[in-house]
Structure 1
Amino acid sequence: MPRTIWSGAISFGLGTVPINVVSATEDHSVRFHQYHLEDMGRVWVRKFCETEDREVSGDEIGKGYQLTKEHVMSISDDELSSLPSPAHRQGDRASSSSRTPEAVPRDNERSGHV
């Protein structure tokens, strides 16, 4: 029997309905594979280069960022690891109290007082 996380009640006029919220602990999803209908052979996803019109191996695949429709900037794993982590950048933002983001309203603007 699952353990109750929260319990309470909802009142509708003269009637009260008890409510218990329990955690979902089991994965009941069904996973399917793709099969070739003629011979029921398993279908696999293959990496394919659209420019050279051929299948490529894993060591030929890298990361890149599409700047424009025609220009892609490649980036290596070493370059990615040298970048500061998002948590580090947020820490820098929080430590510098002199900078206030423009999109965040001050407390007096939030309450409607100017």
Structure 2
Amino acid sequence: ALETPEEFGAIVVKESDGFQVRLSEVAHVEVAAADERRSATYNGETSISLGVVKQATANPLDVAANVRKTLDDLTPTLPAGMSSFVGYDTSVFIAESISSVYETIFEAIVLVV
């Protein structure tokens, strides 16, 4: 199990052409005071929570797809006993809304013809 900031910082978050990017290179990893307002649990166990916020001009469906792909690539490199999952994804609602609009347009075309 990972216990120190150095151990968490050593997690490889991206690997390309033989180069590795570690968590400590793209994030600040530290031990902080336990604060219930900032703690995360999943199924009753302590966990790490990470939020991804898209830029104003980014496509939320593309961002969500890229996050899922990155998570799929990252998960096999996690230490034994660690897993990952997407807890909340607003792009699901956007995709459903788009699908609903297409269905409505199709129904309107059928009714007009």
TM class by shorter chain equals: under 0.3
Structure number with greater Rg is 1
Which structure carries more helix by proportion?
Answer: 2
Which structure carries more strand by proportion?
Answer: 1
Ranked by relative contact order (alpha carbons within 8 Å, sequence separation 6 or more), the top structure is: 2
TM-score normalised by length of structure 1: 0.22
